[in-house]
Amino acid sequence: MTMPNPPALPQALLHLVLPVETRESVVGDLLEEYRDSRFPSMGRFRANLWYWRQVSGFWLRAYWAFVVPVFGLFALRDVLGVFRSPSGLPYFNVEFLFGLVTMSPLVFLLAGAYGSWRTRRWAGGLVATSGMFIASWLLITAWWNTTLYPFALIQQSDPHWIQAWQWSIHRTQTPWLFWFHPDTPDESFLRWAVWDNVGAQIFTGASMFGMAIIGGGIGSMLGRITPRRPSGHAQAQG
C-alpha cells in the first residue's frame, strides 16, 4: 500500500524554511502527523491545506520581522504624502520620503542573508525574500485599497493633489494599453485617484519583485559564506 504524501512543493519549501539543526526532525514529525492523523480524518484536500498552513506558519515565524519594516516604510510614505501643510508642501522633504522607500532593498538583502545563513542553503535566502515580496505586497495592496476613499477625500482639497490631477487630465500623451489611456479631460478626482492607485500597485509590485530577486540573490550568497557556530545539540552529537 502506497503511503499518502503531502504535495511536493510545500515539502520542498519546508526544507528551505527550517533551520538546519531542526530540519529533519520537524519534517519527519509533520509527515508522520499528515499520514497518521490528518489524512485519514480530513481527506487529501483538507490535509494538504493543513500542511500548507504549517509551512506558511514556519515561514511567518522566521521572517515576520522583515515584512513589518517594508510594509511600514510604504505605509508611512503614503501617509506623509497625503497629509501635507495647507500650502500643499510636504511636512518632510521629498528626499526623506524617497529615502524611506529606498531603504527596503536593504531589508530584502538582510532577509536573504539571514535565510541562507539559518538554512545553510542558497535557495533558503530566495524563499525568504520571495515570501517577503508576497506578504508585503498583499499588505500594501490591502492598505491602499482600504485607505483609497478616505485619503481621496483629504487629497481633493489639497493644492498639491489638485495640481497633480489637473496636470494629469490635461496633458497631451499618446494613449497606452491598446490605445486606451485612463486620463481624460472630464475625469473626476476620485476616478483619477483610483487609476493612480492601480498604477502604483502595479509599479510597486514589479519593483518589490525585482528587489526580492536581486536582494535575495546577493544576500543569499553573503549568508551562505558566513560561518555559523554549531548548536549545542550538534556539538553534543559530535
- Domain range list for the chain: 63-228
Residue 170 has pLDDT above 60, yes or no: yes
- pTM comes to 0.81
Contact of 197 with 148, CB cutoff 8 Å: yes
Residue 101 has pLDDT above 80, yes or no: no
- Residue-wise pLDDT for 212-232, tens only, equals 888 888 888 888 888 766 554
Contact of 115 with 133, CB cutoff 8 Å: no
Q: Mean pLDDT: which of 49-53, 65-69, 104-108, 186-190 is highest? A: 49-53
Inter-axis angle of helices 122-155 and 8-17, nearest 10: 100
Residue 55 has pLDDT above 90, yes or no: yes
Contact of 231 with 155, CB cutoff 8 Å: no
pLDDT at 229: 66
